[in-house]
Amino acid sequence: MNFEQKMKRLEDIAAQIRESRVDFPEQLALFKEGSHLASEVEKELAEAEQIIQEIKASEPEDPENPPL
Whether 60 has a pLDDT exceeding 80, the answer reads no
Q: What angle do CA 34, 39, 41 make, to 5 degrees?
A: 90
Where does the pLDDT of residue 64 fall: very low under 50, low under 70, confident under 90, or very high at 90 and above?
Answer: confident
| Domain assignment present for 63 | no
C-alpha distance from residue 63 to each of 54, 56, 57, 58, 67 (Å): 19, 14, 15, 15, 9
pLDDT of residue 52: 92
| Domain assignment present for 67 | no
Number of structural domains in the chain = 1
Where does the pLDDT of residue 38 fall: very low under 50, low under 70, confident under 90, or very high at 90 and above?
Answer: very high
Helix (H, G, I), strand (E, B) or coil at 36: helix
Determine contact, residues 4/41, Cβ cutoff 8 Å.
no
Q: Give the structural domain span for 31.
A: 3-58
| Domain assignment present for 66 | no
Query: Whole-prediction pTM value?
Result: 0.74
